[in-house]
Amino acid sequence: MELSADYLREKLRRDLEAEHVEVEDTTLNRCATSFRVLVVSAKFEGKPLLQRHRLVNECLAEELPRIHAFEQKTLTPEQWTRERRK
Protein backbone atom coordinates (compact mmCIF):
# COMPACT_ATOMS: atom_id res chain seq x y z
CA MET A 1 0.00 0.00 0.00
CA GLU A 2 1.37 3.39 -1.00
CA LEU A 3 0.88 6.23 1.42
CA SER A 4 -1.04 9.10 -0.08
CA ALA A 5 -2.97 12.08 1.19
CA ASP A 6 -6.19 10.51 -0.10
CA TYR A 7 -5.52 7.22 1.69
CA LEU A 8 -4.74 8.94 5.01
CA ARG A 9 -7.75 11.28 4.65
CA GLU A 10 -10.17 8.41 4.15
CA LYS A 11 -8.72 6.32 6.99
CA LEU A 12 -8.88 9.24 9.43
CA ARG A 13 -12.41 10.15 8.33
CA ARG A 14 -13.65 6.57 8.71
CA ASP A 15 -11.88 5.50 11.90
CA LEU A 16 -12.30 8.75 13.84
CA GLU A 17 -15.78 9.47 12.45
CA ALA A 18 -14.41 12.86 11.46
CA GLU A 19 -16.65 15.48 9.98
CA HIS A 20 -13.72 17.24 8.32
CA VAL A 21 -10.22 16.06 7.41
CA GLU A 22 -7.49 17.88 5.52
CA VAL A 23 -4.28 16.10 4.60
CA GLU A 24 -1.39 17.90 2.93
CA ASP A 25 1.52 15.94 1.51
CA THR A 26 4.56 18.05 2.47
CA THR A 27 7.11 15.58 1.14
CA LEU A 28 8.32 17.94 -1.59
CA ASN A 29 9.53 20.39 1.04
CA ARG A 30 11.39 17.72 3.01
CA CYS A 31 13.83 14.88 2.57
CA ALA A 32 11.34 12.04 3.21
CA THR A 33 7.61 11.20 3.40
CA SER A 34 5.84 13.97 5.32
CA PHE A 35 2.24 14.97 5.96
CA ARG A 36 0.31 17.74 7.72
CA VAL A 37 -3.23 16.90 8.86
CA LEU A 38 -6.24 18.65 10.33
CA VAL A 39 -8.89 16.40 11.86
CA VAL A 40 -12.26 17.60 13.18
CA SER A 41 -14.10 14.97 15.20
CA ALA A 42 -16.65 14.78 18.00
CA LYS A 43 -14.48 11.98 19.42
CA PHE A 44 -12.13 14.76 20.61
CA GLU A 45 -14.79 16.32 22.87
CA GLY A 46 -13.56 16.62 26.47
CA LYS A 47 -10.11 15.26 25.64
CA PRO A 48 -6.86 17.17 26.13
CA LEU A 49 -4.53 17.68 23.17
CA LEU A 50 -2.27 14.75 24.03
CA GLN A 51 -5.20 12.29 24.09
CA ARG A 52 -6.47 13.65 20.78
CA HIS A 53 -3.08 13.16 19.17
CA ARG A 54 -2.89 9.65 20.60
CA LEU A 55 -6.22 8.82 18.93
CA VAL A 56 -4.83 9.97 15.59
CA ASN A 57 -1.58 8.08 16.16
CA GLU A 58 -3.48 4.90 17.05
CA CYS A 59 -5.58 5.26 13.91
CA LEU A 60 -2.42 5.50 11.79
CA ALA A 61 -0.29 3.06 13.81
CA GLU A 62 0.54 0.94 10.74
CA GLU A 63 1.39 3.96 8.58
CA LEU A 64 3.40 6.14 10.99
CA PRO A 65 6.58 4.02 10.91
CA ARG A 66 6.82 4.87 7.19
CA ILE A 67 6.25 8.60 7.69
CA HIS A 68 9.28 10.76 8.45
CA ALA A 69 7.45 13.89 9.62
CA PHE A 70 3.82 14.13 10.76
CA GLU A 71 2.18 17.36 11.92
CA GLN A 72 -1.35 17.24 13.27
CA LYS A 73 -4.01 19.64 14.41
CA THR A 74 -7.05 18.17 16.15
CA LEU A 75 -10.26 20.10 16.78
CA THR A 76 -13.77 19.44 18.02
CA PRO A 77 -16.62 20.52 15.70
CA GLU A 78 -17.27 23.53 17.97
CA GLN A 79 -13.61 24.61 17.83
CA TRP A 80 -13.62 24.17 14.04
CA THR A 81 -16.69 26.38 13.71
CA ARG A 82 -15.09 29.10 15.86
CA GLU A 83 -11.81 28.90 13.96
CA ARG A 84 -13.50 29.32 10.59
CA ARG A 85 -15.21 32.50 11.80
CA LYS A 86 -11.86 34.21 12.46
Average pLDDT over residues 20-29: 91
Tell me how far apart the alpha carbons of residues 44 and 74 are, in angstroms, rounded to a whole number: 8
Q: Mention every residue, 6+ apart, whose C-beta is less than 8 A from residue 49.
A: 74
Q: What mean pLDDT value characterizes the chain?
A: 94
Q: What's the confidence (pLDDT) of residue 1?
A: 60
Tell me how far apart the alpha carbons of residues 4 and 54 are, in angstroms, rounded to a whole number: 21
Note the pLDDT tens digit of each residue in 45-66: 999 999 999 999 999 999 999 9
- Would you say residue 2 has pLDDT above 90? no
pTM of the shown model: 0.92
How many residues are listed for the chain in this entry? 86
- Would you say residue 72 has pLDDT above 90? yes
Residue whose C-alpha is closest to residue 21's, from 77, 66, 65: 77
Q: What's the confidence (pLDDT) of residue 31?
A: 72
Please, what are the domains in the chain? 5-78 (3.30.300.90)
